[in-house]
Amino acid sequence: MAQENRDAFGQLLLAHYAGATVYEVYERDDGFVDVLGEPSDYFTGFAQWDGRQQQALERVLGRVLDVGVGAGRFALHLQEKGHPVVGIDVSPGALEVSRRRGVRDLRLLPFHQIDSTLGSFDTILMMGNNFGLFATPRRARWLLRRLKGLTGPDARIVAETNDVYRTDKPEHLAYHRRNQARGKLAGELRLRCRYRQYTGDWIDYLMVSQTELTEIVDGTGWRIAEILASASSQYIAVLTKAE
């Protein structure tokens, strides 16, 4: 399938940005399909974010790598605050939306391919559940070790995720059991985005509890410095360099 036909997420964002009424749809590898509604949250500004996300952006230091920049909502805010920001994404359409909205430095690049050619960063930003882009616990540990070498001594990772155990929905609990029977964490998801005739590639996406996060981070050169919790299953972790 041609690249443009696989960029369902990017085409969704482009259509919404152009004023169309569109809906974000995800298919899980067990056949479950979820309609999340219109993708308007990707375009919100600071005043529209919840308090936890606003607090998280206050933890950002210096030069920023925005992982999964999407439509650029966090990158734009940080640029306005004077932070140099590099936004990366695997979606050409998302990068085009970010470019049109004013994000200045954008790269079409998978997270696992980052290297020293991007320069050094003071903050790795993974908002909007983008901790999930670590993909698997094993890859997360490998990437965390790599990020240690691509960041300054006082660097931090600000990452949002979802504690999947905080649900009582049968379709999700069944998926958790399916994963655990295969030796995986309950929140190791395999998803793809659907939009009209566009079908995204399958991606591995990782959601973790705070206990699982602690186990993943241990021994990688990072430590959990702060948890910004919420009444929901969402939370944001701030990681700093371990001594």
Q: Identify the band that residue 243 occupies on the pLDDT scale cut at 50, 70 and 90.
A: confident
- Using CA atoms, how far residue 27 sits from 79, 137, 189, 192, 194, in Å, is 34, 22, 10, 5, 7
Read off the pLDDT of residues 40-82 as tens digits, 9 standing for 90 and up.
Answer: 999 999 999 999 999 999 999 999 999 999 999 999 999 999 9
pTM value surpassing 0.85 = yes
Domain ranges for the chain = 3-241
pLDDT for the residue numbered 231: 85
Radius of gyration of the chain (CA): 17
Q: The domain 3-241: what is its CATH number?
A: 3.40.50.150
